[in-house]
Structure 1
Amino acid sequence: MPSTPTASSGSPWSVAPEPVGSAAAAALWRAYYTEVSDRWYELNEGRRTDPAELEREIAADTGAGLTPPGGVLLLARYDGEPAGTAGVRLLDPATAELTRVFVTPGLRGKGGGPVLLTAAEDAARGLGAARIILDTRNDLVEARALYARNGYEEGAPHNSGPYAEHWFSKPLAPRTT
């Protein structure tokens, strides 16, 4: 698992582990959840998320699985400012799950997604995983395209989550030093 920021030299992006309860992580979790929840409700019910439901659901998912020793939350910064997250948690000794992949809307298209995926894959390897899996929804077409561009292959369902409509996986080659 990376203990120092990762990104290519000269990049405005850096990624490092972050406590799930930090102010930056909490703010990005709120932004992520609000966006995906509102998107679902707008598409399916023509409305935004009810504020009470939003608060309840944000509080309910504490990110407990994204803490050592079996997980990590990664926080991306762009020119030093919090700009995105990716979570990795072990499901079994060889399989990690990727979750909470998010880049703030104003910074999308600036390379943060691939930087986060690379850091998440490195973190998964550091946890001992040989493959990484994830699920996503039909309407999150940008996310699906990001995963496909970065070597993730869509396959059979690996869970039965209520919002899981597409399942991806990627084998993780051993770390090179």
Structure 2
Amino acid sequence: MSWQSEHIWIEVRTGSRKLSNFFWALVVFLGSLGFLVVGTSSYLGKNLISFFPSQQILFFPQGIVMSFYGIAGLFISSYLWCAISLNVGSGYDRFDRKKGRGCIFRWGFPGKNRRIFLRFRLKDIQSIKLEVKEGISARCILSLNIRGRGTIPLTRADENWTPRQMEEKVAELALFLRVPIEIEI
């Protein structure tokens, strides 16, 4: 989602609260719970849930491995749910031509650097860079090349933009900021 006027451009960035993240967090949680139930059932020697036959599984070594996978999956699942609940990666990009300032804001994990806030002058922007990787895992990444700060990415690698949509976005932003475009293929 973006908002644009004659002098201000605001681009709102979605974070971890995406449908795919909810799906994978749920799949990992349910899968790890299944592994943990089978490992525990093999330890106790009886089926805790009827559709998980664990009597053929010996506790040593298969039951231990299943329990380990279950516990590891619960940790991964809890990480995903924490990222979703904190909406890590969300924020906005704001460019104000009238004041000649730009800022990029993102939320991170709790701690010292929970809020990531970068301010810069628009005249320090050297170019807008579009990185296109083709192949099996094709991706387009939009970033700013800022004097003294290097390259700062604006989009994530997993955002599903078509090359055409990304080209249009880059052209609009470059026209608004009055800077050149760099394309890296």
When normalised by structure 1's length, the TM-score is: 0.31
Structure possessing the higher radius of gyration over alpha carbons: 2
When normalised by structure 2's length, the TM-score is: 0.30
